[in-house]
Structure 1
């Protein structure tokens, strides 16, 4: 089994500078505006954006679904890279059922645009398939569109 067997990747060129994309990822109020495909939304957002810092929020669906999310940042490179996982919760406490590690990479694409690469690396092929069937490409694509639109308002 290779890493590629467990990864899903979304690559986009976003029409906003990476500093603004970064801000949307690291400011709790801004993250809440774009992070889920509408009509889903998140609240109770807490971010300690540093390597080893924790993050948490609650996702809410249109049919009353409530999904708490907790994780830890594994790597932070300002304006370039965020690596976070749900394998741990606060203070490196292992989670009961880890799903994935997310890797978000930002690089300049010229003319104030950002090359945005979001990778979901799953713990198993089965979890990758589950995420794909949940609508990874459509859902993460919608979120990237919402992220771009929000970042453009911050100019």
Structure 2
């Protein structure tokens, strides 16, 4: 039996973004799983995403590198936990690939892509280890930053 991520939000530890996007879910999934697409939208401008290495399979590693305006790079290693093509991606920074623990786990992300009236209901849940981590992420600008990235994602999937 395969374990599946609980997608019911926990108000104490989760931050949630949901949006109805006028594009098929296959395009949204591709934008999250193909490095050449992910690097076009992932970081909120004026930041950029110079590189993404993605091994999209349960246990597979990912390293998405963001860069600020001055070019300082911030690699974000993680691992995929659940992969359901065109429906769901679950990944975490608790591991850095092949179940090797990271130094400090912060969150697990649960993405769902659900068909709705010819469009896609895109939901991103950032599930944190503690309520304090959730608050810290919210204070860092989760809603603004992830909202900007989702705008960029939406623009991309309408062009591809």
- TM above 0.5, yes or no, is yes
TM-score (norm 2): 0.91
Deviations 1:103-134 (CA, angstroms, capped at 9, x unpaired) = 000000123x1000000000111111111011
Q: Which runs of 5+ in 1 are unaligned?
A: none
Distance in 2 of aligned mates of 1:87 and 1:25: 19
Q: Which runs of 5+ in 2 are unaligned?
A: 1-8
Pairwise CA RMSD: 1.3
Partner of 1:150: 156
Farther-moved stretch of structure 1 (133-142 vs 62-71): 62-71
2:97 counterpart of 1:90: yes
Partner of 1:68: 75
Moved runs in structure 1, 4+ residues, more than 2 A?
A: 63-66
Deviation at 1:63, TM superposition (A): 4.0
How many matched pairs?
Answer: 152
Deviations 1:31-87 (CA, angstroms, capped at 9, x unpaired) = 000111111111221001111111012111124442111111000001000000000
- Which structure is higher in helix share? 1
Partner of 1:17: 24
Distance in 1 of aligned mates of 2:91 and 2:97: 12
Given candidates 40, 54, 72, the residue that maps to 2:47 is: 40
Distance in 1 of aligned mates of 2:33 and 2:79: 13
